[in-house]
């Protein structure tokens, strides 16, 4: 059996002039040109530092983007450009390390929350593999688990620690704006609903036949929100909108924000946990860094009670602890969301 360092796409891709059969997607999933949308369409851009708009205008724009697209980009977010560049560089340094060294640096956590993997976390069960290698670990503000983070490259813990603290601040700011737009208390998502953030770095090597494979399949994130740092000048992320795939082109010094399935549930379906995927290219490697805002495992995920108007609005989704929610999602995807929805026939069914 191959070891993990041998399985990594980055360990063997350069020796192939074609995509191995296990990485070839079925016809209906391949990223052919017919799926691409007109280039004039793009996801909204929210300026968090626009002094010409008051807070109410910013809330209106961010809420509209979350309702119609489930995706938007934020600029003027007050996260240092130098820190963003340092973060990308330290992840690039990590991916340039020898395969065995990378795997060893991600194998210190006895319960496996800090880890490296290839294709997906369910590699053994993946009938079709995905063209990427990934590194993930929790990043709570307490610094817990940091002893299991890679300590190579030498500045990894310092840089990624600073970066995730800045992501926490930005995440709270965005969630406060969304909360106000929904009519919730601005601090609604503080505490248990944002207790367990996680960072996830993906590396997509160049692919000899990008029309046949995917970096990540179509999916929704099981997060409250996800904040994504994209490498400049390398495209790959696409979001599904009205049956067409929109490119999410990188904008200098911007972050992509997407609404997670958890926030779709909490908003009782008002906000969209949009489906998205990642395609590959034949010439350039791509690096992305995602910051997921997750709740504690015991936190109950359900539509916010104040959005149900004292029982006059029916909940669209069942209540479930987040730990069970995520386990069921992974086990039952893509049928889980359908099972999560109530199927009311009339108002009396809710009583």
Determine contact, residues 315/343, Cβ cutoff 8 Å. no
pLDDT at 51: 62
Residue 249 and residue 234: Cα distance in Å, rounded? 8
Residue 342 in any domain: the answer is: no
- Residue 98 above 50 pLDDT? yes
Dihedral sign for Cα atoms in the order 139, 273, 179, 322: negative
User: Does 126 map to a domain?
Assistant: yes
Asked if the structure places residue 143 within a domain, the reply is yes
Average pLDDT of every residue of the chain: 92
DSSP 62-123: HHHHHHHTSEEEEES----HHHHHHHHHHHHHHHTS-HHHHHHHT---TTSSSEEEES-TTG
Could you tell me if residue 123 is inside a domain?
A: yes
Q: What is the pLDDT of residue 333?
A: 79
For the chain, the domain total comes to: 1
Q: Write down the residue that tokens 């359900």 correspond to.
A: 302
- Helical (H) or strand (E) element with 230: strand 225-230
Q: For residues 32-38, give the mean pLDDT.
A: 51
Contacts of 154 (CB under 8 A, 6+ apart): none
In a domain, 334, yes or no: no
Cα distance from N-terminal residue to C-terminal residue, the chain: 55
pTM (two decimals): 0.94
Cβ atoms of 71 and 65 closer than 8 Å: yes
Lowest mean pLDDT among 73-77, 104-108, 142-146, 161-165: 142-146
In a domain, 218, yes or no: yes
Over 50: is that where the pLDDT of 351 sits? Answer: no
Q: How confident is the model at residue 309 (pLDDT cuts 50, 70, 90)?
A: confident
Q: What is the domain extent for residue 232?
A: 4-295
195 pLDDT band (50/70/90 cuts)? very high
Specify if 264 maps to a domain: yes
Would you place residue 347 in the very low, low, confident or very high pLDDT band (cuts 50, 70, 90)? very low
What are φ and ψ of residue 346, in 5° steps? -155, 170
Closest CA to 287 of 197, 222, 215, 223: 215
| Total Cβ atoms within 10 A of residue 323 | 14
Average pLDDT, stretch 162-182? Answer: 97
Q: What is the pLDDT of residues 242-286, one digit of tens each?
A: 988 999 999 999 999 999 999 999 999 999 999 999 999 999 999
CATH code of residue 213: 2.60.120.330
Evaluate whether 314 touches 340 at the Cβ level (below 8 Å): no
Q: What is the mean pLDDT of residues 333-344?
A: 84
Cis peptide before 144 (omega within 30 of 0): no
Predicted confidence (pLDDT) per residue in 118-169, tens digit: 999 889 888 999 999 999 999 998 888 999 999 999 999 999 999 999 999 9
Residue 64 lies in a domain: yes
């Amino acid at each position: 059996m191959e070891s993990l360092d041998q399985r990594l796409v980055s360990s063997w891709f350069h020796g192939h002039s074609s995509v191995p059969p296990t990485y070839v997607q079925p016809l209906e999933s391949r990223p052919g040109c017919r799926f691409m949308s007109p280039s004039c369409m793009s996801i909204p851009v929210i300026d968090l530092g626009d002094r010409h708009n008051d807070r109410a205008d910013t809330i209106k724009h961010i809420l509209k983007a979350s309702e119609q697209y489930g995706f938007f980009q934020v600029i003027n977010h007050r996260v240092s450009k130098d820190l963003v560049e340092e973060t990308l560089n330290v992840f690039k340094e990590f991916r340039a390390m020898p395969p065995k060294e990378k795997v060893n640096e991600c194998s210190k956590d006895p319960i496996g929350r800090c880890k490296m993997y290839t294709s997906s976390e369910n590699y053994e069960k993946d009938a079709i593999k995905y063209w990427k290698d990934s590194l993930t670990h929790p990043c709570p503000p307490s610094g817990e688990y940091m002893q299991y983070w890679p300590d190579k490259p030498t500045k990894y813990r310092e840089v990624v620690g600073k970066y995730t603290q800045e992501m926490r601040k930005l995440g709270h700011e965005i969630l406060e704006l969304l909360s106000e737009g929904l009519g919730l208390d601005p601090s609604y998502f503080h505490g248990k609903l944002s207790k367990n953030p996680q960072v996830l770095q993906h590396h997509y090597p160049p692919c000899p036949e990008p029309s046949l494979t995917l970096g990540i399949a179509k999916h929704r994130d099981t997060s409250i929100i996800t904040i994504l740092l994209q490498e400049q000048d390398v495209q790959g992320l696409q979001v599904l909108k009205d049956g067409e795939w929109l490119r999410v082109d990188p904008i200098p010094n911007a972050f992509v924000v997407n609404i997670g399935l958890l926030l779709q549930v909490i908003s009782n379906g008002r906000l969209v946990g949009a489906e998205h995927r990642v395609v590959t290219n034949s010439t350039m490697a791509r690096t992305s860094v995602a910051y997921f805002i997750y709740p504690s495992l015991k936190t109950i995920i359900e539509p916010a009670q104040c959005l149900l108007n004292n029982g006059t609005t029916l909940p669209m989704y069942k209540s479930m602890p987040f730990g069970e929610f995520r386990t069921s999602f992974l086990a039952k995807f893509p049928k889980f969301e359908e099972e999560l929805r109530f199927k009311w026939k009339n108002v009396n069914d809710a009583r």
